[in-house]
Amino acid sequence: MTGEPKTPDKFTVINELARRRCFYWQSYEIYGGVSGFVTYGFLGTKLKQNIEKKLRELFVNKLGVLEIESPVIAPSKVFEASGHVGHFKEPMIECLKCKRRFRADHLLREFAEIKESEAEKLSLKEVKEVIENRGIHCPECGGTFGEPKYFLTMFKTTLGPYSEAVGYGRPEAAQGIFVEFKHLYEMTREKLPFGVIQIGHALRNEISPRQGLIRLREFTIMDLEFFFDPEEPNCFILKDFENETLRLVLAENKLHGSEEIVEVAVKEALEKGYIKAEWQSIFMALAKKLLIDLGVPAEKQRFIEKLPWERAHYAVQSFDQEVYVERWGWVEVSGHAYRTDYDLKRHMQFSGTDMRVFKRHEKPVETEQIVVKPLMAKLGPVFKAEAAKVAKMLSEADPKEVEVSIRKNGYYMLGKHKVLQEHVEIIRQKIKERGKRFIPHVVEPSFGSDRLVYIALEFAYHVKDGRAILSFPREIAPVQVGVYPLVTKDGLPEKASQIYETLINEGFIVECDETGSVGRRYARADEIGIPLGITVDYQTLKDNTVTIRDRDSWKQVRSRIERLPELLHKYFRWKVDFEDLGQSFER
RNA sequence: GCGGCCGUCGUCUAGUCUGGUUUAGGACACAGGCCUUCCAAGCCUGUGAUCCCGGGUUCGAAUCCCGGCGGCCGCACCA
């Protein structure tokens, strides 16, 4: 590609490396490739699995969150209820002269002073009428507009071969959790708070996905829905996180055109009202931890609050976690939305299934209720045919108002009907409430798995003495150990393959390489980020020791072969220092 | 989806303007062998491109023309 710059940027270099060393590449290349789809090779797949494992450690295992797997395709009802059909379908309008496309609702807001919430309700025909009546022209070139059309960013399909039933590919995994809420809640023995996570593919028919792993049409999403009682929003593990600092860009500052980063402890962010839900602050702190574990230093991370019109339709507050990358600057890696009871409420309306949970009061609450009981024996003769209607109106009226009026005036006017004291009996009733029903609130951290893979690669990548090295944190490295005979003769290769076998049986991800010189093999290993290299040399034949080489410092230590499994477990699981793996070795 | 630039072995590229001199050349990488007592050394051999796809012009097209696909950048979009 001659159009490429002489010194390619990190994104380009990483994509080349990813392709060459089997991390990932664009799919369907033999047919010319299709943008927005990617295939992971064996190193990429492993790296992605390790990253997801890391997320599970932090968000799933320790918090007792439950993981489920639901279908990618859903009947249209699901996404009508969730509001996606309405919100993913943007009316677009094209200028006939300069061919630029605009969002029709944005134009209406700007030039016809129609509020966004109202503009959304307009049909295409109405949009067209407003554009014509107001004489709105292209703001760029003054040309006239063509027919407004919907652009749907969900993948649409039909369910069954001859069916008219519409289905959609899910644009997020969250709905798969919400629709199963009742069942999941019962299975967890009806306790709040509780969280459910789902890691799986999602589909969005992006207009122009052109940023490698950053924007895909089919991607892996990790949606965690955490349900809690809005009356008891306190997080019981807040203490563990309250001093963790977060770097926030607040909406109020954004309004004044500032992207100033406010660095505050979780505790302070809650006290000052920067973050509305306690649980959300915990997930943000965990998200920061996850990224640090993936190799992104805190100063390259921030959480940017979304302005009301930038937010998703379901959220009352949301922050995007962003990471600073070389090519594009700040890039979103996770979203943290306070979805309130929006989704469950909508599914309750659309499906008719009661999504409320029952909360038992500690003590039954006794309340006194005034009941106005119509005495039909008296009402009948007076109101005749109207009697039933009057009784019904009476039951809908405010009993307190009725009582006050009758006591004061001796009657109560129900429209044109005059109800006298003798027509009713006013009873004070004690009612025992054992609990109440409500819809839980939800905070949602949502990660893009593929973006994390790219971020991990970009932050691991550096060049030492002209060689590319991927310095992955040891827990996410796709290959853990390389085993090398120093030279390929005198029985060294045989010894190396024995060690290889042993380590494989111990459950390590190991690679054995005997081609070319040992220096070349080290270089290749560094390039795919293998943290440790074990070299069999002539000393090995004498005393059964090998050298262990550190990817990042290129230092070597010497240890006995029998101790390797134990030492490597310590290194990968308990994170002991490299220097503690053996005696320092100098050639 | 619009505009600009671009598309040749896995990668980087020579050749394209000025159609034939090239079985499309090189370097790196890769595979096999030799060598090699620790950081991409060297030598030999080999694999690998119907020049993005389709159509047209021509005796003849990687080269010229048209359409499509893909990439990068900008605009727009990104719940």
Query: What does the pLDDT look like over A362-374, one tens digit per residue?
Result: 777 777 777 776 6
Query: What does the pLDDT look like over A267-296, one tens digit per residue?
Result: 999 999 999 999 999 999 999 999 999 999
Report the first-to-last Cα separation within chain A, whole angstroms. Answer: 44
Q: Quick check: A243 pLDDT over 90?
A: yes
pLDDT at A117: 57
pLDDT at A375: 67
Distance A515 CA to B14 C1' (A): 31
Nucleic strand B within 7 A of Cβ A139: no
d(CA A320, CA A342): 20
Nucleic strand B within 7 A of Cβ A149: no
* A535 and A486 Cβ atoms separated by less than 8 Å: yes
Nearest residue (CA) to C1' of B32 = A515
Q: Given the structure tokens 């024995």, which residue do they identify?
A: A498
Output A515 or A377, whichever has higher pLDDT. A515
DSSP-derived letter for residue A306 is: P
Concatenate the DSSP letters of all residues of A429-492 into one string.
Answer: EEEEEEEEEEPPEEEEEEEEHHHHHHHHHHHHEEEETTEEEE---TTT-S--EEEEESSSSTTH
d(CA A52, CA A447): 10
CA A254 to chain centre: 23
pLDDT at A140: 62
Among A50-54, A204-208, A214-218, A285-289, whose mean pLDDT is lowest?
Answer: A204-208
pLDDT at A12: 84
Neighbours of A16 (CB within 10 A): 13
pLDDT at A258: 86
Hey, what domains does chain A have and what are their CATH numbers?
A: 38-78+156-248+281-342+443-448 (3.30.930.10), 89-152 (3.30.40.230), 361-438 (no CATH), 479-582 (3.40.50.800)
Output A437 or A88, whichever has higher pLDDT. A437
Among A97-111, A196-210, A358-372, whose mean pLDDT is lowest?
Answer: A97-111
Query: What does the pLDDT look like over A448-491, one tens digit per residue?
Result: 999 999 999 999 998 888 889 999 999 999 999 999 999 999 99
Strand partners, A305: A319
Q: pLDDT band for A28, please (50, 70, 90 cuts).
A: confident
A9: amino acid identity, one letter: D
pLDDT at A3: 29
The model's pTM is: 0.85
Average model confidence (pLDDT) across chain A: 87
CA dihedral A52, A53, A59, A65 (to 10 degrees): 100
Pick out the nucleotide with least CA–C1' distance to A558: B38
Pick out the nucleotide with least CA–C1' distance to A6: B12
Strand B nucleotides where any atom sits below 7 Å of a protein CB = 1-8, 10-14, 29-32, 35-42, 52-53, 68-79
pLDDT at A310: 79
Task: Please tell me the number of Cα atoms within 13 Å of A313 on its side-chain side.
Answer: 16
